[in-house]
Amino acid sequence: MKWYLASRQSNKSMIEDTIHILKENNQEVICDWTKLNIKKYDESSSLFAKEIIDKLEQVDIFVLISDPKGTDMFVEFGAALAYKTVRPLIRIYIVGKYNKRSLMHNHPDVIHLMKVEDVLKKENVCR
């Protein structure tokens, strides 16, 4: 399965840990943004933004780690919802305390869970 994990930079270590678990279990992460040093509003960030949106079209499982703040992760979430209209088998999860913080978080195609571990269990990824 192809995964994408969206969140704020402040959750980087949780994302890195989850990516490690996924790779150990032969899952593919379509974009590991934790390894990139993107400076806002320069040419490289523009190219990276396009790459993320293009790669989201391939995703099987999208996970948004919720947070009381953030911006880009919500754009990625919106793209995943849009791609679900043409690829209905995409599964979209929002995890954490703030998993229903906006109108779109309550979209009927979104699965709400409290922990990333719950997503891994639901998707039969061993821990």
CA distances from 19 to 3, 39, 125 (A): 9, 23, 12
19 within domain boundaries: yes
- The model's pLDDT over 57-116, given as tens digits with 9 standing for 90+, comes to 999 999 999 988 888 899 999 999 999 999 999 999 999 999 998 889 899 999 999 999
Is position 95 within any domain? Answer: yes
At 47, the pLDDT band (50, 70, 90 cuts) reads: confident
Residue 18 lies in a domain: yes
Q: Does residue 127 surpass a pLDDT of 60? A: no
Q: How many whole angstroms separate alpha carbon 12 and alpha carbon 18?
A: 10
Q: Does residue 28 lie within any of the structural domains? A: yes
Question: What residues make up the domain containing 34?
Answer: 2-122
- Contact between 45 and 59 (Cβ < 8 Å): no
Q: Classify residue 127: in a domain, yes or no.
A: no
Q: Which of 3-12, 46-55, 96-105, 110-119 has the lowest mean pLDDT?
A: 46-55
* Length of the chain counted residue by residue: 127
Indicate the number of domains in the chain: 1
Q: What is the pLDDT of residue 34?
A: 85
CATH number of 32's domain: 3.40.50.1220
**Does 40 have pLDDT greater than 80?**
no
